[in-house]
Structure 1
Amino acid sequence: MTTKGKTIDAVWSGTWVADRLGVRLHGRDGDRQELTGLLGLALRRNPKRAHLLVSQVLGKHVPQSPETVYAAGYGLGLRVRELLGGAAADAVVLGYAETATGLGHCVADGLGAAPYLHSTRRPVPGLTPAGGFEESHSHATSHLLLPEDPALLSGTGPLVLVDDEFSTGNTVLNTIRDLHARHPRDHYVVVALVDMRSPADRDRLDAFAADLGARVDLVALAAGTVELPEGVLEAGGALVAEYEARVAAAPAPLDPLPLPTPRPAERIALDWPAELPDGGRHGFTPAHRARLEQALPGLAARLGAALGPAPGRVLVLGNEELMYAPLRLARALEQAGTAAEIRFSTTTRSPVLAVDDPGYAIRSRLVFPAHDAPADGPGDRYAYNVAGAGFDTVVAVVDSAGDTPALHEGLLERLRRHAGRVLLAVVPSYTPPARVTAPASAPASASATAAAPGSTPAPASTSATDRQEPIMQPELIMLPEPLRGPAFSSYPPEDVGWLLQDLSDIELEAPTEEREEAIQAGGAHYAESLPVEYQPSAAYQELYQDALETSAIRIARAVGTVTETVLTQRSPSPVLVSLARAGTPVGVLMRRWARFRHGLDLPHYAVSIVRGRGIDANALRWLAEHHDPADVVFVDGWTGKGAITRELREALREHQQAEGGPAFDPEIVVLADPGGCVATYGTRDDFLIPSACLNSTVSGLISRTVLRSDLVGPHDFHGAKFYRELAAADVSTAFVDTVAARFADVVDAVEGEVKELLAADRTPTWEGWAAVERISEEYGIHDVNLVKPGVGETTRVLLRRVPWKILARRGAGADLDHVRLLAEQRGVPVEEVDGLPYTCVGLIHPRYTRGATGADGKAVAAK
């Protein structure tokens, strides 16, 4: 950390963590100073480990002299060249995204004539992966190998694998195992800035190489181990939670006030050479390197001219995987003496706790939304040690895929608050011509030894880094990014991402009577078709509006209560995952409350769950790849008898047994829990939630979800339709806007209610389930799925199914006006009863066939 022109890091940047958690670094030969010069310590909340080793020379989290960053990697490359001797001419270098992309480039430069490739998280349409692997880390996604030349990895010369640190070695061993099965070779070299393996891990590498029948060498700047005291994971998690809670509770943002006259970001015409790749995503050859070296003086001159004669302290800020190009630009500026001081770092998707203390490696962080849509998807991204560092000028370098409106509204806007001047340099994203060759597959003998999803990885030691090791796949399965409005749904894109596939062009609707007959006859499942979308009458629309005006403040209070309970008891930074579609308006509202009350920008996704068939397993895999499962909070609108609550718990148990890894919390949260089925809720009153009155027109114009084997394959998300044609009747955004407008009115009430709830016994009573069983027996209905308790479920019976009768609690008032209206329109009797724990219950006839009659002699089929 620095002030204007003055370094103030007088103590080791791992002291804060070491003092509080007892974490210690030990040099391999007792030389701890070598390690502490390269590494600091920080914390993050992670299910596997709390500490994070922060490199001082990588150019990722800590701004550093470009020459220092480049020299570290280049020097490692020289050592590899010396190790390989004449074989260096046949070597290929492979780096790991996102952290080691620039480091791998520098190692390849030191080797001289070696081509370079790094893994990537950015899928390229039309370009078939040549391989890849999965990382189950909370901020990581699928890693792809996308070389423009498919033969790049098929040679027999030495393969040099570069990562920022070598800990347990699982990442590298799995990579070597998979690639060796495809294209065997005699020699592998592993390169890292630091080697932090335990003695057992070193022995394991030796045994692995012997079994493989190949030589495996390791080259690192320094070596040692990390000492972790017993209970450090729990203690670290508690420490992170404490500091995150302080930030969440802060009355004002930590950013300084805007500059008096903030200057807009200035775009620089960089004039990057045509067809020169921006990095090693698709391969970077010695010829590319020669072209870059030739172009660098001119590129630096254009940057220098834009900076002017007195730019002050300058930070060149790269962007996630784009590390090498901005590093070389920064180094060229430094060599040209453009400014008194040039520093280099890059943004990252890795969330790390920031503590403004000289003995802590991450002094500050800027948080901004992702802007690289093809690679990132939604969520927060970070720039560390930039705020408060005294930079006069920041040059942000992105590729053209990241030059989006979100970049200007997010990162650049944040940078303007911390630097007198912000410049933007855009490097053209290089996309090779599409090819359609199939990925190479491993021989059968190799696939038995390669790690696979759900298998048990090699044992981790206490020196593991802040990464769960990836598991190499013989075949890579890429899950698509979430669908978002306006292309899919009428919600704003930031409100929700739908982990669904779009079936809008497929005819799925069937008459209600036909669906009911097929479902009860056992010939079809309710999720295999869709009911015809009910179009409410003018009288019903008016009833909805009246209900919304009456209950908006009641709903706002319940939204605030459930959200504050989640933030207090579940996670200070939850990932909201609503059950499509009834839970989605609630998830949107919870997200808006978190922003209104705490300034939080919570991720929110919608997934499909199907009674009797479980939750979408591919959606769970996507969530686990992109977020820490411990942060995921499943959200629904209300509970009836608790069938979906049980379905979710069982589905997550089966998913955990099948796939392993960190477990999702199966405890669902709901706006209303009249059934007494959950412990986290906004209210247990059974009242009219207006979003239950309508179908798609209050849920982003999205249909119920569909699960049918001819439409949903084993690697697909469940499906749904987007009813664009109903846009004129859509009230989805108006509904959440109306409720959110009442947030300010209920703040005090929510605070008091949350205190009471946290002190109360909220153990689920399952009173609703007992009532359903009693009603089922009394009315001769032997399938509890045909008993739909509560106002919300009763409404859906009247809209989607063939109802037999409605049971209403005697004396129920305005909350049932819409139910009575719907029942009258469909010719369904409403029977008032005593002792009903719900406001009403909808019954579906247990013996439905077209033209059948109920026990009262009335026709069952809807008129």
Structure 2
Amino acid sequence: MENLSQNCCNQSIDYDIDSSLKISLTITENNCAIPVSKLFTMSARENKKRDFLFVSKVIGKHIPMIPVTLKIVGAILARLWIKERENSYAYPTTQLVNELISLDATHIIHNLDNILDTPIKLARKTLFIGFAETATGLAQSIFENFSNAAYIHTTRENITSIEPALFFNEEHSHAVEHSLFPYKKDFFNNFEDIVLIDDELTTGKSALNLIRCLPGKSFGIISILDWRDDNSFKMLNDENNVDVMVCSLIKGDLKCVKSKDIISDDLIIPPSNTKLIPSLDYVFKIAQSIEGYNKSTGRFGITSKDNFKILEEIKSVSKTLIKERTTGNCLCIGTGEFIYLPCSISAMLGNNVYFHSTTRSPVHSRNLEAYGNKNKVAFQSPEDINVTNYLYNIPDNFYDQVFFFSEKSLTYEKKEEFNKMFSYFHVKSIIFVCWKD
């Protein structure tokens, strides 16, 4: 399915999905020389607006990853930003990149503490904004590297007790509407730089839609991948009265040719008579919440000062949960926009731990070697029965234990549904973890 050719200037990659969809990529810039195969693969969307999906291997969404991956990628991108924005070479990325390339689930990384625990001070007062749902974990992992910044992420959750500050659309998405719910009405007015964070940039339209809603004239975009063509570059550069700087690991060009509709493999539906496996429940108290949503996620806005309390929360929860770790492979699951906290906790649960999260994104599943979404289970969102969620890439007979993290408590029926789902894949036990006022 995947063919690569390399010359002295460009790397060309062709993805052929069953002769139905062909994506041709030309990598024109690779800032840290990270092998592309470490960063992403491709899948076909169930979406008429865009036929393809870059399936990231480093953000904890569709594909299981070693949890510390998120922290390392966030630290690399934070250092690239400070280099490009302030022309600062005080924060090298070499050791971080080497660790990312050589990550192994059977050992725990200990030699990055000095790098990851050294905060970066920005010259300008900066707000970072993460895009829901895919990039919430990535964005917060970038933000946590700075000592004097603020962070908030967009949301698709239905929050009713406070008014949203603004709406904007992500035009190519399966769910186009985004909202921002800062806890302060003037939250956006006091920043010299506002930096948007997403996992990939294809046209930049979604970013521009948000920029047009925000005050200020100086903006940035941080992304792992940047596939904008000449027209998309011009669109951002020509926007009146604003300056936009884009920072990414990978830049390149893409072409997509679809010859016929993709036919998915069957959706996995565990039989109703699937036996339940042993389960436990852990409920942790939330220090601050709005409608049960944990403020530590950044959904309502946080500052660098809050990171100390958030880290203590992560350490406290992981210290409790590690007592429940059994031998064998362990899967930790986040839910929807709830990625950063569960992934950070998972990174402290020892070795042989993997992490990814549920998603709203409908993607064709195909059991092909280099394809990004090999199987698929569908279920109704625990937060909204009108929204279908998916979980991809659950191998049979691989995980012995599952930690299932949800921002709010699950109903008995929903826990039973997830219990049977993982029992179907021969997981031996499941632990449900949630937060409550």
- The interval holding the TM-score normalised by the smaller chain is 0.7 to 0.9
Compute the displacement of 1:47 (Å).
1.6
Match runs of 1:337-376 below 5 Å: 338=350, 340-373=351-384
Match of 1:263 in 2: 277
| Structure 1: distance between partners of 2:401 and 2:336 | 20
Match of 1:424 in 2: 432
Larger relative contact order (CA 8 Å, sep ≥ 6): 2
- Which of 144, 148, 169 is matched with 1:113 structurally? 148
Compute the displacement of 1:192 (Å).
0.7
| Structure 1: distance between partners of 2:60 and 2:366 | 19
Residues 367/107 of structure 1: CA separation in 2 closer, same or farther (3 Å cut) = same
Task: Tell whether the 8 Å contact from 1:63 to 1:343 is kept in structure 2 after alignment.
Answer: yes
Residues 20/359 of structure 1: CA separation in 2 closer, same or farther (3 Å cut) = farther
- Which of 303, 313, 320 is matched with 1:285 structurally? 303
Match runs of 1:219-234 below 5 Å: 219-229=247-257, 232=258
| Structure 1: distance between partners of 2:19 and 2:233 | 29
| Structure 2: distance between partners of 1:10 and 1:170 | 28
Compute the displacement of 1:88 (Å).
4.2
Match runs of 1:135-174 below 5 Å: 135=170, 139-140=174-175, 142-174=177-209
Task: Tell whether the 8 Å contact from 1:319 to 1:398 is kept in structure 2 after alignment.
Answer: yes
| Structure 1: distance between partners of 2:197 and 2:368 | 31
| Structure 2: distance between partners of 1:44 and 1:406 | 30
Match of 1:123 in 2: 158
Task: Tell whether the 8 Å contact from 1:318 to 1:326 is kept in structure 2 after alignment.
Answer: yes
Q: Alignment RMSD, CA only?
A: 2.9
Is it true that 1:314 corresponds to 2:325 in the alignment?
no
| Structure 2: distance between partners of 1:87 and 1:303 | 35
**1:366 partner letter:** V
Cα deviations across residues 218-267 of structure 1 (Å, max 9, x unaligned)?
111111121223xx1xx25x223xx36xx38xxxx6658977x6424311
Compute the displacement of 1:294 (Å).
2.4
Match of 1:414 in 2: 421
| Structure 2: distance between partners of 1:11 and 1:342 | 30
Is it true that 1:190 corresponds to 2:190 in the alignment?
no
Match runs of 1:528-607 below 5 Å: none
| Structure 2: distance between partners of 1:367 and 1:281 | 25
Task: Tell whether the 8 Å contact from 1:100 to 1:164 is kept in structure 2 after alignment.
Answer: yes
Gaps of 5+ in 1: 1-8, 430-863
Task: Tell whether the 8 Å contact from 1:317 to 1:394 is kept in structure 2 after alignment.
Answer: yes
Match runs of 1:439-478 below 5 Å: none
Task: Tell whether the 8 Å contact from 1:368 to 1:411 is kept in structure 2 after alignment.
Answer: no
Residues 18/104 of structure 1: CA separation in 2 closer, same or farther (3 Å cut) = farther
So what's the TM-score if we normalise by structure 1? 0.42
Match of 1:104 in 2: 139
- Which of 383, 391, 398 is matched with 1:383 structurally? 391
Cα deviations across residues 597-634 of structure 1 (Å, max 9, x unaligned)?
xxxxxxxxxxxxxxxxxxxxxxxxxxxxxxxxxxxxxx
Match of 2:96 in 1: none
Is it true that 1:53 corresponds to 2:76 in the alignment?
no
| Structure 1: distance between partners of 2:315 and 2:154 | 29
Cα deviations across residues 402-445 of structure 1 (Å, max 9, x unaligned)?
5234532433431232211111110237xxxxxxxxxxxxxxxx
Match of 2:107 in 1: none
Compute the displacement of 1:392 (Å).
1.1
| Structure 1: distance between partners of 2:322 and 2:205 | 43
Tell me the SS of whatever aligns to 1:290: helix
| Structure 2: distance between partners of 1:71 and 1:200 | 33
Cα deviations across residues 532-555 of structure 1 (Å, max 9, x unaligned)?
xxxxxxxxxxxxxxxxxxxxxxxx
**2:429 partner letter:** R
| Structure 2: distance between partners of 1:346 and 1:223 | 26
**2:27 partner letter:** G
Match runs of 1:584-733 below 5 Å: none
Residues 10/144 of structure 1: CA separation in 2 closer, same or farther (3 Å cut) = closer
- Between Structure 1 and Structure 2, the one with more helix by share is 1
- Which of 227, 239, 246 is matched with 2:262 structurally? 239
Cα deviations across residues 772-801 of structure 1 (Å, max 9, x unaligned)?
xxxxxxxxxxxxxxxxxxxxxxxxxxxxxx
| Structure 2: distance between partners of 1:314 and 1:329 | 13
**1:122 partner letter:** E
Task: Tell whether the 8 Å contact from 1:194 to 1:221 is kept in structure 2 after alignment.
Answer: yes
Residues 156/69 of structure 1: CA separation in 2 closer, same or farther (3 Å cut) = closer
Is it true that 1:215 corresponds to 2:243 in the alignment?
yes
Residues 422/399 of structure 1: CA separation in 2 closer, same or farther (3 Å cut) = same
| Structure 1: distance between partners of 2:72 and 2:231 | 31
Compute the displacement of 1:295 (Å).
3.1
Residues 61/200 of structure 1: CA separation in 2 closer, same or farther (3 Å cut) = same
**1:173 partner letter:** L
**2:56 partner letter:** S
Compute the displacement of 1:19 (Å).
5.4
Compute the displacement of 1:271 (Å).
4.9
Quote the sequence identity (%): 24
| Structure 2: distance between partners of 1:156 and 1:369 | 39
Task: Tell whether the 8 Å contact from 1:75 to 1:110 is kept in structure 2 after alignment.
Answer: no
Residues 18/158 of structure 1: CA separation in 2 closer, same or farther (3 Å cut) = farther
Compute the displacement of 1:37 (Å).
3.1
Compute the displacement of 1:116 (Å).
0.7
Gaps of 5+ in 2: 5-12, 87-120
Tell me the SS of whatever aligns to 2:348: helix
Match of 2:93 in 1: none
Tell me the SS of whatever aligns to 1:239: coil
Task: Tell whether the 8 Å contact from 2:332 to 2:353 is kept in structure 1 after alignment.
Answer: yes
Compute the displacement of 1:18 (Å).
7.7
Tell me the SS of whatever aligns to 2:142: helix
Residues 159/30 of structure 1: CA separation in 2 closer, same or farther (3 Å cut) = closer
| Structure 2: distance between partners of 1:15 and 1:257 | 37
Q: Number of aligned residue pairs: give it.
A: 389
| Structure 2: distance between partners of 1:88 and 1:54 | 34
